[in-house]
Amino acid sequence: MAGYLVESTRKVTTHRLKEMKAEGKKIAMLTSYDYTTAKIVDAAGVDCILIGDSASNVMAGNATTLPITLDQMIYHASSVARAVQRAFVVCDMPFGTYQVDAKEGVRNAIRIMKETRCDALKLEGGEEILETVQRILDAGIPVFGHLGLTPQSINKFGTYAVRAKEEAEAAKLLRDVKLLAEAGCCGIVLEKIPAALTEQAVASVDIPIIGIGAGPADGQVLVIDDMLGKNKDFSPKFLRRYADLFTIMTDAIGQYVTDVKRGDFPNLQERY
């Protein structure tokens, strides 16, 4: 792992995540949805890999995260977990698998853990789902919270605009951060909220706060396809692109098409 700011090849655990916050060490989190990508992400030193329900958008082409099913998430998550040696692996519980009641939430949580070998689950929401979060934690399953812009509620919000700019929503978010931390969550993702509010959240709890479009926090998360520039249509202010894979891949594939069409591939060395 030379070249990357990685201190140890030891498996990242809930304990290590809390330690990293206490030591002021930033946590790098990134999504992955398949085995090959997860192997690369893990080798590059990412601390936490999220099988986000953003798979619904980036893998399946849906407009929202709502359609992805439990079986589809289990397929993505088990592929990722199989590839990872060091990173802490978190799987999103998809829409509809934990909102009905705590009993169903725990049953689905146990199924994901058994069938994927992930390290933790992520659920969207605060006080409204606290009983479910508590019951999943009581079953011995680590839980990440997710507050602010929670994409599973996009139809209620009606917009992907920044959340918690008003005082009442900001106060509720800070309350929810405390409730989730007191319940025993191992971390919380804050999405698309003002940086000043994130700063308050970070100072209020001893578990890591991971931001996306939320300013500086204990760590950051991005959707891998976005940060690698595979998708040219999504350019929010918070996104930093580290590559232009759209161009690199179309150039490479275009060259392959040309080579096949002019009979240049396969050449004499590329045949049996």
Residue the block writes with tokens 């926090």 = 217
Q: How far is the CB of 236 from ligand KIV (least distance, A)?
A: 11
**Closest separation in Å from C-beta 12 to ligand KIV:** 17
Cβ–Cβ under 8 Å, residues 246 and 227: no
Handedness of CA 259, 244, 1, 47 (dihedral sign): negative
Catalytic status, residue 191: yes
Nearest Cα to Cα of residue 112 among 83, 130, 92, 132: 92
For ligand KIV, the binding residues (CB under 6 A) are: 31, 50, 52-54, 92, 189, 191, 212, 221, 223
How open is the CA angle 32-4-210, to the nearest 5 degrees? 50
Which position among 23, 128, 169, 191 bears the catalytic label? 191
Query: Closer CB to ligand KIV, residue 50 or residue 121?
Result: 50
* Residue positions counted in the chain: 272
Residue 87 vs 212, nearer CB to ligand KIV: 212
| Shortest CB 210 distance to ligand KIV, Å | 8
Q: Closest residue to ligand KIV, Cβ-based?
A: 52
Q: Which is nearer to ligand KIV, 42 or 92 (CB)?
A: 92
Nearer to ligand KIV, 240 or 262 (CB): 240
DSSP letters spanning 167-230: HHHHHHHHHHHHHHHHHT-SEEEEES--HHHHHHHHHH-SS-EEEESS-S-SEEEE-HHHHTT-
Residue 181 C-beta: closest distance to ligand KIV, Å: 18
Residues 197 and 204: beta-carbon distance below 8 Å: no
Active-site positions?
191
